Amino acid sequence: MALAVEQVHLIGTARDFLMGAGTLFDVQKDFNPFFTSVRATQGGDRPYAHGAWVGAEWQDPRVVPIRVIANGANGDIPSTRAAIQQMAAAFSAVGATGEIAELRFRLKDDPDEYVLFGRPRGVEPDIDEIALGRAKIATAFVAGDPRIYSGNLTTVTTGLPVQRGGLRIDAERVSSVWRRGLRLPFRIPGTTQGGQVEINNLGTTATGALIRIDGPVVEPRLILERSDRSVQSISLNITLGEGQWIDVDTVRKRALLNGLIEANQRGAATWLMDAFPFLPGVNRMRFLAANYTPAAQAKVEYRSAWW
C-alpha cells in the first residue's frame, strides 16, 4: 500500500508493521534514514613518510535507528504491553529463513516513498510510563545493501526487434525506362522496430534489475548501453520453448530456468554485466536472439537508487 506522510512500514515474510501517522506507534522526529559511513580498511599510516596510504573504500551497511512511542489502545498497562509485544515480534530476528525485509518510509511533506532492504534488530523498550498507557521503544533497521531505493518499481517490456521496409534496386531488375536518371544499384533503407527498452535511473548511484525472458526464443542476449556509453551484456546459450522462461537477477548473478533455484543456468551464460548495471541517467537495453520469434519477450524491473 502507498504510505501516508510521516509513516514507516516494516514488511517481511512474516511481518507487516506500520508506524507513524494514524497508528498507535508515533515515530519520533529524529528518524533519519540518510546517515551513511565509509569503510576504509585498505589504508594506514605511512611508516617512514608523512600522511597515509589509501586503497579501496566502500559504503558500510546503512544503520537506521528508529525511536517510537507505543500507545496502548485502551490507555492502560495490558494494552500498552500488547503494543510492546507487537513491535517486538515485528522486529524479531529472521532466524535461518534468509529473509530480507523492507523498510519503507515517507517523510513529512515529501511526495515520494522510498525503501531499504535489510533486517530488523530487536527492540529496547522503556516502560517507566507504562502505567500511563505509553512506552518509549528504541530499535534499528540494518540495510546490508546501503542504497536507498525508490518505493516505485518500474517495469518496461519489449519483444525481439523487427525489420520494417528496406529495398535494394539492381540495374538488371529495372527496365531501361526506369534506368534513365537513376544511379544503380541503390538502396531504400529499412528501420528496426522494438527490441529495446529505456531504463531511466533517477538516482545518484547504480542499481540492479530483475529481468524475465519468456520463450520461445533461441540463445537470448541482453546488450546494455549505459549512460556513460559503456556496453555490457549477458548471452545465454540455451533455447526456451513455449511456456518456458528465464529469471535473470543481475545482483545475485543467476539465471533461473522457470524460476527454479535448482535450474540455475549461470553456467550456460557469458556474463559480462555488473551486479548493479544501470548507472544514473538513461540506459538502453537491447533484447536479441539467434532467430526471430514473435512471442519472445523480455521484461525488466528496476528501482532508481540513491546513496
Residue 198 contacts residue 282 (beta carbons within 8 Å)? yes
Q: Rounded to the nearest 5°, which phi and psi values hold at 57? A: -135, 150
181: number of CA atoms within 13 Å, CB side?
Answer: 2
Predicted local distance difference test score (pLDDT) of residue 169: 56
pLDDT reported for residue 49: 94
* 31-57: average pLDDT: 92
Q: Find out whether 279 and 201 touch, Cβ atoms under 8 Å.
A: yes
pTM: 0.85
Q: How confident is the model at residue 125 (pLDDT cuts 50, 70, 90)?
A: very high
Cis check: omega of the bond before 189, within 30 degrees of 0: no
| CA–CA gap between residue 271 and residue 239 (Å, rounded) | 17
More confident residue, 48 or 178: 48
More confident call, 170 vs 60: 60
Strands 101-106 and 52-54: unpaired
Q: What pLDDT is recorded for position 96? A: 94
Question: What domains lie within the chain, and their CATH numbers?
Answer: 7-150 (2.40.30.200), 154-160+195-306 (2.60.120.860), 166-190 (no CATH)
Q: Note the pLDDT tens digit of each residue in 229-282.
A: 999 999 999 999 999 999 999 999 999 999 999 999 999 999 999 999 999 999
The single-letter code of the amino acid at 292 is Y
Give 193's contacts (C-beta < 8 A, 6+ positions apart).
Answer: 161, 162, 163, 164
- What is the 8-class DSSP label of residue 37? -
* 153-169 core/surface letters (b: 16 or more CB in 10 A; e: else): ebebebbbbeeeeeeee
Question: How many whole angstroms separate alpha carbon 307 and alpha carbon 35?
Answer: 9
pLDDT for position 162: 85
| Interval 18-35 mean pLDDT | 96
Alpha-helical runs (H) found in the chain: 77-90, 176-179
**Amino acid letter, residue 175:** S
